[in-house]
Structure 1
């Protein structure tokens, strides 16, 4: 069963964030993760949401997504987004 990694963010330093994105991309590919879509918040129709952007990645399984997130390759670049904004990473199993 494939899994979706949904990242909600509110950027405070877009330049630093782009450095992180460039560095993290190759680690994502090593774990069979793929970028599906990304965009800016248009409206909150119900409830509350304090982030401005959403990006969705697809992995073959939740185990593979967790392996990527905890991998040495990703952990070596994860620090590049420190101070670049606020981030929520949510893993969803598709059905």
Structure 2
């Protein structure tokens, strides 16, 4: 999951940042990147705040996004920011060249 967030209400968004991680972990997800510096090497995309999440499956990512556990945090994020969120299907098991050692 790739997320570009423009924070509009920093105080509320700080509370969101405390609530979201436990719900992500509960669905087997983890952060790969969260709010670090970005550099556009090609194109015109100029993201504000990027988060990259990894889940075991696309289905688990969808379950998390629609979950009752995440709902309060999601409402808080939606109220305090504008977000572009993209669900990207990863490589099938065994297709990741980094896993072949």
- For normalisation by structure 1, the TM-score amounts to 0.82
CA–CA separation in structure 2 for the residues paired with 1:86 and 1:33: 22
Cα drift, residue 87 of structure 1: 0.6
Tell me which residue corresponds to 2:2: 6
1:70 aligns with 2:66: yes
Rg larger in structure: 2
RMSD: 1.6
Within 5 A, what are the aligned runs for 1:7-26?
Answer: 7-26=3-22
Larger strand fraction of residues: 1
* Larger RCO (CA under 8 A, 6+ residues apart): 1
Gaps of 5+ in 1: none
Q: Deviation per CA, 1:40-89, whole angstroms, max 9, x where unpaired?
A: 333x3433325311110110000000000001111122111233221111
Gaps of 5+ in 2: 92-101
Within 5 A, what are the aligned runs for 1:1-95?
Answer: 5-38=1-34, 39-42=36-39, 44-95=40-91
CA–CA separation in structure 2 for the residues paired with 1:54 and 1:33: 16
- For normalisation by structure 2, the TM-score amounts to 0.77
Aligned residues: 90
